[in-house]
Chain A
Amino acid sequence: MSRSGSGQTDPSRGTYIAVITNRSTTLVIRGFMLFSIGVFLALVLNLLQVQRNVTLFPPDVISSIFSSAWWVPPCCGTASAIIGLLYPCIDCRLGEPHKFKREWSSVMRCVAVFVGINHASAKVDFANNVQLSLTLAALSIGLWWTFDRSRSGFGLGVVIALLATLSTQLLVYNGVFQYTSPDFLYIRSWLPCIFFAGVITMGNIGRQLALYECKLMSEKAHQD
């Protein structure tokens, strides 16, 4: 606590500042954690997608991870940080705190299922794009049902997934970004579902982190 430094004269103000700084620092820490998780997942999942079309990794495989576009992982990280902070915030605003399966094991299960969905979309051969889309959509909805079950989560997920797909398509149209596989339709079919699942997952992580922080804060308040 930075009480001693800030307010010898006005103790109430001092505690206020302390709480504020404390809260903002924890927010930053939370955001950073979410960011790194997002970057990590983006790298790994990108690798999965790369593996789909390449049998043998060229010797400089590590560089090939970053070769597609250097700014993709940071973008994913930023997006996941925003989403992860947004979810608890919205829960707070709506006044319906999320009660469903608030455990780390459940969150881990969620992440694993998300990676599994990516894996399936990357490794499993589907007969056609409709099948792929339907399967992925069913999996994503199942993910939401299993780990989230909140209306706000669903709505936010759908909105963000649509926005992200739209922006990706815009980027591709403008030639800024290219998929590893030129099959345009194919890409479009799996993208929204993956985005949706990712939003749900990151929201889950963000909520869990926020819960942890809440507990810390309440404990501290208790001590004070």
Chain B
Amino acid sequence: MPRGLTPPPRMTVRERLREKISAAFYRHGLLCASYPVPIILFTSASILACCYPLLRLPLPGTGPVEFTTRVRDYTVPSHEPQGDLGERPDWYRGPPVAYIQPVLVKAAVSPWDSTLVPVDVFRSPLGRVFSLLEEIRNHVHDDGSLEALCLQVTDLLPGLRRMQRVLPEHGCLLVSPGNYWQNQRELFDSDPDLLKTVHQHEPKGLHTSATLRDLLFGVPVKHTGVSLYSRKRVVTYTITMVLGSYDARFLSSLRARLRQLHPSVNCSLREDHMVHVHFKEEIGMAELIPLVTTYIILFAYIYFSTRKIDMVKSKWGLALAAVVTVLSSLLMSVGLCTLFGLTPTLNGGEIFPYLVVVIGLENVLVLTKSVVSTPVDLEVKLRIAQGLSNESWSIMKNMATELCIILIGYFTLVPAIQEFCLFAVVGLVSDFFLQMFFFTTVLSIDIRRMELADLNRRLPAEAGMPLPKPGPLRPREAPPPPRPSPHTITLQTPAFRNLRLPKRLRVVYFLARTRLAQRFIMVGTVIWIGILAYTDPAGLRTYLAAQVSEQSPLGEGGAGGLPPHLGVAPVFPGPGGDPADTLSVLPAPAEPTPLPENQSQGHHGAPGEGVPLVPQISWGAEDEEGWRRLSFRHWPSLFSYYNITLAKRYISILPVIPITLHLSPREAIETRHPQDTRHPPPPSLKTNDLPADLTLYKVAALGLAAGVLLVLLLFCLYRVLCSRNYGQNGVAHGRRRRGDLPCDDYGYSPPISEISPLLLCGHSMDIECLASDGMLLASCCLAGQIRVWDTQTGDCLTVIPKHGLRRSSSSGCWEQRDGWDAVGVAEPENLGGGTEPGGGVFDEDKGYPLRRRTTPRPALFENQPDLTPLIDTNFDSQPPSHLLLTPPRNGFDFGGLVEKAYLEHEPPSPGLTASYPSPLSGPPPQRRRSLGYIQPPAPQGQETPDWESAVWAMELRGNLIAAGRSNGKLELWDAVEGSLRCSNEDGVSGITALAFLNNRIVAARLDGSLDFFTVDINKPLGLLQYRGPPGRSNMPPSPCYSSEDVISCQLTRSVQCAHQKPITVLRAAAGRVVTGSQDHTVRVYRLEDSCCLFTLQGHSGGITAIYIDQTMVLASGGQDGAICLWDVLTGSRVSHVYGHRGDVTSLVCTTSCVISSGLDDLICIWDRSTGIKLYSIQQEVGCGASLGVISESLLVTGGQGCVSFWDLNFGDLLQTVYLGQSSDGQGVRQLVVLNNAAIVCDFGSELSLVYVPAVLEKLD
């Protein structure tokens, strides 16, 4: 979908919508990632609030079971099991807890008169309850009375004082609506507002399954007809007698008496069955099998779904969050439905798995994938925002599709399916809410925490490269292909640093940043308004709830029978009950009343049309067992008020006694309370034959309006909370199209960072020296060529061996190198230590004649360094003697060292090599000594640059490059012009290390001597202010000198025997020069007067690494693996630790810690003040010889073909940047940190310039 390609004016509505949605999701993602904690708190609060109504719901599995017997030959079952009595259940033994005798009263004022007020609908019918009660209480048959038979209760549970006035406290348990008025007619008559009396005992707001109103009326609230808006004008209530013992004759006489008094002409209720209801605590296994199966499938689904979550910090945590999201959205939906009066008639446990499957985990997974595949170097909130906005369209599309499907399901008009659909809709919406708020926030936290620890394992084999092929399940198991291009793997988003501020500070920052207090007040206001609307003095909500529950087909769905809790379906026993009845109870959609046709013959009066003048009292099958419509918690809660438990016991419900009361309008008017007429006139009455569908639409419209209102409210809240501008809008990079790049099922490939190193090519051989002063970068290769680069752009400014200058014909020597590759089999080290035969010597003259003699050979070893410019096979022009000169000159057996280095698989020779770039002092990078090229200084004495001797050390300051050559010559070059400014040939021993500080140059020589030079810059015609004797300071040769300054370099002091053995390390900072040598000592000199201040002894091996910075802290590491910290002012040893097995190869300090790397591939981080090891990082073999510190907490190490960035505070690997395509593992041996957030490292014959802007940005 090439969204970006479409020009804006031609955007279709769809695309514009898409843009809008994407932008909205983007902002939302920013919000979530910015305030994770408050959002999670808010979400949890809303989940809890929505689940609150569920507290009143019973746990699944406690549903009652029933058993039906005939009344006629009923005897109390004995306690002993009596053989097999057919299908008599186990629990049907012994007497029941109680017998329930309901007396169902239906009363109506007829004919209805237009002079009547709405209150008349129920006032006089309710008033008749008192006479009925009196009748019942006073009924006597053969010395049996109700007093004798009924269940005597003693007192209510303590804590139910509220109920005291309503429920009988002692004596018979006889429950009727009259209890509201203490069964006293006078109280009833003087009650100005009956509804208020009824309502005052209701729990506020929340409808739970067994309220007091249900208990007293004995029928569900919506069926009582006690309402100002009742349309049928029939009042229904039950007088419930709870009998302790069964007396058939008494009951039948009571029944006969009542029927005689109040005949129900059209009543055809069966009276021959009594139902025993057993309340149980545990569930049988058999009923559970299908349930368990569905749950197993559900868990398998969840498992397979969450298995796809990848590339996050805590897979399990995120999976848990996903499951929590789905589950709590379900709970929320059930809770919300309960709140609005839709008590679930379906068994929650059974539909639960299907709801989960419908809602699904897909969105969550897609979100995770999308977020994870955003560029990793972005800030976390930007990543979240981008991930969200990338997926916004598909999420919205899916959601719309699902809603459509569910809507279609809703119009099947099958009550159960409708109820399921309603739950599913609410569940979907709440799931969407939770995904957007809860899961996104959790994801942002997780991404923030994501460490490289686990990703590190996959490194560098495969991470960071695009997946090779769309592996269907576990893409990362695929074998890694060769790296296609140099790029970066980012293992961690460094913005986690935000989380690591001290907690206190974070809270303060948070408060300050978000102006939390004001916003809380605002939110509080909104909530308060909401509560006002909720408590609702106008009664709108009750009206709504009543409408929903009374008119929607869902309400009628309950008419079929008791909610089938856990396999307890309605009992339709044997011959009498016909299952077809169950089916046909549900009306066809257009049927005006919920009554089946075969039961409605009792209608009399004007049939159907208009306002029914005579309210129809009809008795239907649903009245036969009216208690079924009550919550199944009804009886247990009634008995529990008297501390009687029904668990594992049963009650027997006797056939209902129907009573029909027709009251005349005159009676209704007589019983009127004076205040009754003050009620407002009833709203325009709906006709009774209004199609049931219309209410459906009404409910839908109301729900829609409420939804829109909610959305608007949330939008306003959102604007209030998100007043800040969050930086740039997201780059709209969608999913990759399949086929573009390797990607997985969702069209994602792992993140590819935008950082790519800049390769500086030009050298023909391996880089040997590297020096930088921030702006310029000088490099020298084994061929002796010096190149100067611009660190900003990577351009090569100067090439020092100016062939055009002196040897214009030989320039091809540096360029046409292809034919020489085959010669490069010999590694530099292989040539070393005198093991090389006489061929390993150098053409005194020049390298290029070789080219003429050698034909291009097949390139066998293409990756080898090109040594051709240095290897001379022209033996006849070679003085054969100079190999012999070497051993006495340096007095040091390089062969042994090299041997050792090889044994330890360490590319740089340990005792000779080190590179300690430091941002603070910028110490000179030391050369890697190429042993094979040791050769005597050419005794030429002429003032021309010496091309034949190798450059062993190099330093760059300002515009000047100081190069120390193997023949002891010190040269100063102009870095920009590439001209030799001056050279000094005072010494003959090769310069192994250089330090260039201010205007002083310190050179350490192979023979252990230390020379101090002073560089003077003079105007050409001014006074030549030589401080000392002019000596041999040379003027540069005039032809190549055009600058006006005259630069001279003069040897001020030479310390002949600074060390007994060759100097290996030289560092200068803060006016001190520190040398380390093979003779186990470190010496500190003052730069000004070349005076040796201290000789520091403490190592038991040669010194291999030294660090000194402006703060005068000196650290040294030796071949013994020890690291010593010294005080340069006093010369005392501060601490001495052993950290490595083998040589310490490099040392860097920050203000708080010391970082060392050793031959054992371990990087150790020490506390600088205490010398305690904080932690260590085990690297791969062959890594870690070079170290650099970019800032206080960012460490760079060189590895095999890559550099890695580490967080020093926590030891996390932040990033690994691959330098080149070839993964042949050329190690990075030197690494220089530049000032402008870049590092330079050598990479074979190339240099890599890596800018680390992303890392740096996040540091501050």
Contact = CB atoms under 8 A, between A and B. Distances in A.
Contacts of B298: 112
B340 interface: no
B293 A44 contact: yes
Interface stretch (A2-10, A77-85, A87-95, A114-122): A114-122
Contacts of A52: 569
Contact of B354 (A40, A51, A116, A127): A116
A59 interface: yes
Interface stretch (A100-108, A150-158, A159-167): A100-108
B290 interface: yes
A58 B87 contact: yes
Nearest to A127: B586
Contact of A103 (B414, B472, B584): B472
B353 A104 contact: no
B414 A119 contact: no
Contacts of A124: 414, 416-417
A72 interface: no
Interface in A40-61: 40, 44-45, 47-48, 51-59, 61
Contacts of A142: 405
Given A55-B567, A103-B304, 15 more contacts: A40-B293, A44-B289, A51-B290, A53-B579, A55-B65, A56-B87, A56-B89, A108-B300, A109-B357, A113-B354, A115-B290, A116-B354, A127-B413, A135-B414, A135-B417
A172 to B, nearest CB: 19
A221 interface: no
B1258 interface: no
B284 A61 contact: yes
A94 B588 CA distance: 47
A125 B357 contact: no
Given A51-B567, A105-B304, A124-B416, A115 B297 contact: yes
B1041 interface: no
B293 A127 contact: no
Interface in B283-330: 284, 286-287, 289-290, 293-294, 297-298, 300-301, 304-305, 307-308
Nearest to A120: B417
Nearest to B408: A138
A55 B416 CA distance: 18
Chain A CB within 10 A, most for which of B90, B353, B560, B567: B567
Interface residues of B, number: 51
B412 A135 contact: yes
A207 to B, nearest CB: 12
B1175 interface: no
B570 A55 contact: yes
Nearest to A131: B414
Interface of A: 40, 44-45, 47-48, 51-59, 61-62, 102-105, 107-109, 111-113, 115-116, 119-120, 123-128, 131, 134-135, 138, 142, 181, 211, 215
Given A112-B294, A120-B417, A55 B569 contact: yes
B141 to A, nearest CB: 35
A119 B350 contact: yes
Nearest to B90: A59
Chain A CB within 10 A, most for which of B297, B405, B412, B745: B297
A119 B89 contact: no
19 contacts: A53-B579, A55-B66, A55-B568, A56-B66, A103-B473, A105-B301, A105-B307, A108-B301, A109-B357, A112-B298, A113-B357, A119-B290, A123-B564, A124-B417, A125-B560, A125-B583, A126-B414, A134-B412, A181-B579
A195 to B, nearest CB: 19
A111 B290 contact: no
Contact of B293 (A108, A115, A125, A128): A115
A105 B305 contact: yes
A213 to B, nearest CB: 13
Given A48-B290, A55-B570, A123 B416 contact: yes
A80 to B, nearest CB: 15
Contact of B588 (A40, A45, A103, A127): A127
B420 to A, nearest CB: 8
Nearest to A139: B409
B318 to A, nearest CB: 15
Interface string B468-482: 000011000000000
A125 B586 contact: yes
B1045 to A, nearest CB: 68
Nearest to A45: B290
A56 B67 contact: yes
B414 A105 contact: no
Interface of B: 65-67, 87, 89-90, 284, 286-287, 289-290, 293-294, 297-298, 300-301, 304-305, 307-308, 350, 353-354, 357, 360-361, 405, 408, 412-417, 472-473, 560, 564, 567-571, 579, 582-584, 586, 588, 745
* Cβ-closest 6 pairs across A and B: A108-B301, A61-B286, A105-B304, A104-B304, A105-B305, A124-B416
Contact of A108 (B290, B304, B414): B304
Contacts of B66: 55-56
Contacts of A131: 412, 414
A215 B474 CA distance: 12
Given A44-B289, A55-B571, A135-B412, A112 B304 contact: no
Contacts of B293: 40, 44, 115
Contact of B357 (A53, A112, A120, A126): A112
Contacts of B560: 125
Contacts of B412: 131, 134-135
Contacts of B415: 125
B361 A105 contact: yes
A125 B408 CA distance: 18
A108 B294 CA distance: 10
A138 B406 CA distance: 12
B287 A127 contact: no
A137 B472 CA distance: 31
A62 B286 contact: yes
A149 B120 CA distance: 62
Contact of A112 (B301, B350, B408): B301
Nearest to B582: A125
A112 B297 contact: yes
A57 B288 CA distance: 11
Contacts of B567: 51, 55, 57
A215 B477 CA distance: 12
B1085 to A, nearest CB: 64
A181 B525 CA distance: 60
Nearest to A52: B569
Nearest to A54: B569
A128 B583 contact: yes
B575 to A, nearest CB: 14
A45 B291 CA distance: 11
Contacts of A211: 472
A47 B301 contact: no
Contacts of B284: 57, 61
A45 B294 CA distance: 11
Given A109-B357, A135-B412, A119 B305 contact: no
Given A47-B290, A51-B567, A119-B354, A125 B416 contact: yes
A126 B571 CA distance: 18
A44 B290 contact: yes
Contacts of B65: 55-56
A192 B1176 CA distance: 68
Contacts of B305: 105
Contacts of A40: 293
Nearest to B67: A56
Nearest to B306: A105
A111 B293 CA distance: 11
Contacts of B308: 103, 105
A110 B435 CA distance: 23
A111 B579 CA distance: 30
A127 B583 contact: yes
Contacts of B413: 127
A176 B412 CA distance: 36
Contacts of B357: 109, 112-113, 116
